[in-house]
Structure 1
Amino acid sequence: MAYRIGTRGSALATTQTQWVADAMTTADTEFEQVIIKTKGDVTTGSLANLGGTGVFATALRQAVIDGEVDLAVHSLKDLPAKQPEQLRIAAIPERADYRDALCAAEGMTLETLPKGAKIGTGSPRRIAQLLALRPDLEIVDIRGNVHTRLARVKGYEHHHDNAPSAAGSPKGDLDAVVLACAGIDRLGLDWAITQRIDPELMLPAPGQGALAVEVSADKAPDASLAAALAHHDQPAARLEATAERALLATLEAGCASPIGALATYTDGRLRLDAVVAAMDGTKTIRREATTALPVEAITDATLAAAYQLGVKVATMMIDDGADLLPPGPARGNR
């Protein structure tokens, strides 16, 4: 049977969606991509001022609710922490590289960038952590697809002039940009990465590197689709996402500062590291906790334990003053 799978129209979104479709295609299932335009795709301006997390997801989600598509593929970090009652995340496939990527001129790293280097990013989370590491950096707010942002790096357009960029966009005016490793890898542009930033230096956005396949909560998928979704719901990725999103939901209840989080599940233990930072990087609160969680399959009990780990770490941070840090722009934690 053929199913309609909703996606944004960017090269990265369609690539990710095709990867999910190919993985779930069987003798009984095939998928047709349906392009859905979102507010984040058609509106210009700062990502944070557009509403931050959720700006890329709303139209896709509405297409599922309205029955325009049977399922939708999101970058998990694009989904707000509060899950709508009409929808459920039916699968979180195996997670890609969750780290942030520095793409810099002349192979530079965070340590070797010159004083006052111009770094492009539209993410308050990245801005806050960059300034905590290197307060001398000049941060430039940028948007656009991956190729457009990479074209801002000095030398990129000369050595890789076959890569498209938006008409009228500046080229070669920055020393570096910071993007997600997962997206760059999925597009086959890993040559552009000069440093995969250690999470000890910069924690990613909650859900970074993971994809979420969302379906209607009111209409159960048929047997073929349900089986395909269940097969591609990876237990470790599901537990990690649950802890990270629980932390995000708990912190967002009383904290508007940029948030980074990374849960890792190995050898029967789930560890969660998190940071909340002032936008200017002058203060950060970072905490971690671990819980034993031997699991062969996802159950309500294991999900509850992962969720409680997120709540625990968030509560520790609030107790340490996370809710008193100066706020960042509208939930712009990406």
Structure 2
Amino acid sequence: MAPAAPAAPSAAVLEQIRALPKVSLHDHLDGGLRPATIVEIASATGHRLPTTDPEELREWFRTAADSGSLELYLETFAHTTAVMQDAESLARVAEETVLDLAADGVVWGELRYAPEQHLQRGLGLDQVVLAVEEGFRRGERLAAEQGHEVRVGTLVTAMRHADRGVEIAELALRHRDAGVVGFDIAGAEAGFPPARHREAFELLHRAEFPVTIHAGEAAGVDSVREAVQVCAAQRIGHGVRIVEDVEVLGGTDERGRPAARLGRTAAWLRDWRIPLELCPTSNVQTGAASSVAEHPVTLLKDLGFRVTVNPDNRLVSGTTLSREFALLVEQAGWSVADVERAGVSAAKSAFLPHEQRVALVERVLAGAGAGQGAPRHAV
């Protein structure tokens, strides 16, 4: 039985969180389209949708995602990728995504997608990347005209079940100075371990290019261990199941943190500050967590891991970054200080040069300080 969808947060808390400058590190471009855009492009291209009413389609995606299975969750993307098969549509989706992030208070967003999934109408891999980058830049300019300063970087993704890892890695490197800031692998995790693309990761490391890897979502600690120790990932996409390498002992330690015994992999992640790109709502929908209230992100935060909070797929999961934080405040007992700390962790973990990360941290802290109309311990 699929887990129940998280209840909506209160409007007051959501608006307070939305006003804060935020950093989003795990957001799939093909998982965050506007329903009206899908309907319009599908009508023009002849793609058949479950419904042509935008609001009904929005609800269809959210309901379909509440499956309790990563594999079933991923099936919803057949409709989003179908309308992202030409340069004009790709640029439009990218532009609208930037504007949607800006409206949610995101000041730095890293958006990921797999170029190999957008070749059905004759585009080449480089043409796909160029179209998306054109859309991102247009979105940044339009957002600035509307009074929102937002920047985005691209994470080029290879599908882990395919055999194009090296080719996609080379694609990322060709565009590394034109908007592409990192590399990822995504797709069904079980049965497709990170080391399957080891040659691609070795190429990227030799080129000194950042890597994040989906791991610890549908597969357990071994997947995270392989991503870090074999493939040398700088960040872990999701990583929620690293909690299986944590034994909670009860009570608190001398620092006031939950008393716990960490396995070697969990300890390595915490000791060496390897960021976890956690996505609470999505993890509940795919069965990686039982609820937002019990999501391991709170325990991992309290234990001192570098946790970041992310939306994963805004349309498919029916969420935004602000909503994710608001749910954690109302259902998991997070405070303003917790939200701020996770925001700083995300800024520190961005695939940006050091001085730009420092400036991003300062922006998150300045915005959080200015927006705290409530005491630090509560929103």
TM-score interval for Structure 1 and Structure 2 normalised by the shorter chain: under 0.3
Taking structure 1 as the reference length, the TM-score comes to 0.27
Relative to its length, the structure with more strand (as a share) is 1
